[in-house]
Chain A
Amino acid sequence: MCPRCRSLDWHEQRLAGTGSLYSYAVLHHPRSPRFDYPVLVALVDLDEGVRIVTNLVGIEPGAVRIGMRLSVEFEPTSDGGTVPVFRPDAHTAAPA
């Protein structure tokens, strides 16, 4: 149910797939065989206002900056699914 209007009338909404990094963590331990470590897990605030848990790709942990602009990609999971992950936009850096 929508917690604001209590509607049950659901529909899919296409999102731009862009957002900014709200927070992150570089996970070292414990390790699951399903993932490559360290795991770069992130909270991304999508431009439409939704916050999601995701991963960052295409960046070294030491270069991650909160606030950096990100765009979505899709990656396969170890069990045959697909998940959204985010890559930093090449030309953007974190806001000063």
Chain B
Amino acid sequence: MTRTHVLARDAAAIAGIGQTEFSRHAGRTELQLASEAIVAACADAHVDVGEVDGLVSYTIDPVEESELVRSVGLQEIGYSARVPYGGGGSMGVLLHAAAAVAAGVADLVVAYRAVRARSGATRFGDAKVAANVANTHAGTTASQWCTPHGALTPASWIALNATRYMHQYGTTSEDFGRAVVQLRAYAATNPDAWGYQRPITLADHQASRWIAEPCIRMFDCCQETDGAIALVITSRERAATIANPAVAIAAVAGAGLFEQEIASDHYRPDLSVMDSSVVLARRLFDDAGFRRDEIGLAMIYDAFSPILLMQLEALGFCGFGEANDFVRDGNLAADGALPCNTNGGLIGEGYIHGLNMVTEAVRQIRGTAANQLPAVDVALVSASRTGAILTRT
């Protein structure tokens, strides 16, 4: 067989989605948040929770599988997996779940992520003075080279890449701001969003304080969020029997490159390019046989606004250095060429570490999104080094 590093087309489908509220103080454990989201996702999929036979999450998720099995009453787990690389690896949960289903080692897989990024023991954006290799909230071991120099946060690590990007192409803070204004406009009409009913102007963006100059202001940052999301993944055949419209995982792939780190990613030759996204796009478009002009919705990982523009370029939606004009021309809007992060993104809706990109794509394809587009048949979800194409079945 030909190896393409992309899972066979339509290997599996998303049959259900579930979530808790997104807040700054959940007031309960990650285990409870995950349990609530899983029960909601199974209800959405019209399946009995006890039938779930596969679990997939992130290596850094705090909810341990045996606790979860006991909490929600799972009877026989056949497949368990965790994916690395933090949020950049988040679409790896779809790859694992779909591959497990396609391989026949599980029939009903739940992918979950539960975070208390705001109220938990460690706030996500806090200054970290010591590298912790067991917890990629603190970056990888590469962060040991950052902490002695005061680069203690994801924003500070990403800023080193973003400044180089600005230098390379002349992109400005206002260019990032225009993308954020669009995200906040979407969030303003999404009741689930942190930014609900709170749109901002470009002037507001430019007046927000510097986090890391000259690239990251406060409004360029995603929100530390408490909450959980669960997805139910099963075969297309089984999904077709479920009342809710199923969403096919039409293609899913990952692309981790030599010397690429997680957030403290400073050792690839050209930091103005998110080159893992270049490889990801090759796999999702060229290898899986999709065209960019088929994409009716793009959900692009926006932990910080510069990486949204950098992914637009790396994924091939515009040329390198052209994302500033692409955004300025309104392409990310609902009536633009590439409606993008229509829930407000991680910046506007909340930071469930990437999984809320999937819930939004599913809702848009089903026709149940808060900011519903006329019709979405094909959606791209890019977490930069992992990603998927989801389609109407």
Contact with B along A64-87 (1 / 0, CB 8 A): 001000000000010001010100
Nearest residue, chain A, Cβ from B148 = A83
A55 touching B150, Cβ below 8 Å: yes
**Does A29 lie within 8 Å of B266, measured CB to CB?**
no
Asked whether any CB of chain A lies closer than 8 Å to the CB of B70, the reply is no
Query: Could you say which residues of chain A place their CB within 8 Å of the CB of B127?
Result: 30-32
Please tell me if the beta carbons of A53 and B161 are within 8 angstroms of each other in the complex.
no
- Contact indicator A53/B149 (Cβ below 8 Å): yes
Tell me, yes or no, whether B388 is within 8 Å of chain A by CB: no
A30 pairs with B125, CB closer than 8 A? yes
Indicate if the CB atoms of B209 and A28 lie closer than 8 Å.
Answer: yes
Taking residues whose C-beta sits less than 8 angstroms from the other chain, chain A's interface range is: 20 to 34
- CB of A37 to closest CB in B, whole Å: 8
In the complex, are the beta carbons of A53 and B159 less than 8 A apart?
Answer: no
A32 touches which one: B146, B150, B163, B167 (CB < 8 A)?
B150
SS class of chain A's interface: helix, strand, loop or mixed?
Answer: strand
Indicate which residue in B145, B209, B216 contacts A52 across the interface (CB closer than 8 Å). B145
Q: Chain B interface residue count: which class?
A: 35 or more
Q: Which of B49-98 contact A (CB under 8 A)?
A: none
Closest A residue to B216 by CB, please name it.
A25
A27 to B129, Cβ gap below 8 A?
no
A-B contact pairs, 9 of them (CB 8 A): A22-B271, A25-B216, A39-B151, A42-B160, A43-B271, A53-B145, A53-B149, A61-B213, A81-B148
* A binding-site residues for B, Cβ under 8 Å: 3, 22-32, 34-35, 38-39, 41-43, 51-55, 61, 66, 77, 81, 83, 85
* Chain B residues within 8 Å of A, Cβ to Cβ: 125-127, 129, 145-146, 148-153, 156, 159-164, 167, 209-216, 218, 258-259, 264, 266-267, 271
